[in-house]
Amino acid sequence: MAADVKRQVVLDTETTGLEWKKGNRVVEIGCVELVERRPTGRTFHCYLNPDREFEPGAQQVTGLTLEFLQDKPRFAAVVDEFLAFVEGAELVIHNAAFDLGFLDAELARLDGYPGMSGRCTVEDSLLLARQRFPGQRNSLDALCKRLGVDNSQRALHGALLDAQILTDVYLALTAGQGEIGFASEAPKAAVVLAPTPVATADARPRVLLQADEAEAHAARLQVLQKKAGRCLWLELEAAD
């Protein structure tokens, strides 16, 4: 491919929990290739055996089970194919720090595999959305609604499905940038975030939940944390 042709890979992962530092693992990777902002039809997708349990609530987000993943390859078996697919591309990721943290942790478990930073550049669509819609909800579902992207098939989170949806969101989010003053040669505007109201523990309602309700609540908080970049409720719980 010619050096001046822009190649992008829209990427998403699903994991056993929210933090790679706690030993959580990647269970699914989905990628969609764009060349000059047009989908080429090339994708990369795999399920992975994580060799560990899901955290409470994480399984509900994806619908994946350890039984389903038991015969799937481990990351070491697909790493070369995955890296060949993304090498040299600009990665488009929603809340990039989350996915890159997990991928770097997976690579660190293997000998001779540097992290992602030297392989690709990164465009964080969450930061782009916050720049365009400051102070508003900028989760993937919220952006779908705001930008008119169909996400009706997203009953559960799947890496390839979410990458395909994010492709449409990203193209809508960045459409016409050259005409509205965001041409690539112009300096990027600084990301300005609206002040976040400070919540306190006393402000939270105290509700006793049944076991199934608590699990569903935990799953919803994980979705917010992963796709919006932060979740005040989880931060408050961690501070208790």
- Residues with catalytic annotation? 157
Residues for the chain: how many in total? 240
Strand runs (DSSP E) across the chain, as ranges?
Answer: 7-15, 26-35, 38-47, 90-93, 121-124
Number of H helices, E strands in the chain: 9, 5
* 121-124 vs 90-93, strand pairing mode: parallel
Residue 70: CB atoms within 10 Å? 9
User: d(Cα 27, Cα 15) in Å, to the nearest integer?
Assistant: 5
Return the structure tokens found at 169.
């969101």
Task: Answer whether 140's CB lies under 8 Å from 169's CB.
Answer: yes
Name the packing angle between helices 159-173 and 125-132 (round to 10°): 40
Is the distance from CB of 218 to CB of 57 less than 8 angstroms?
A: yes
- Give whole-number Cα distances, 224 to 67, 171, 175, 231, in Å: 26, 22, 26, 6
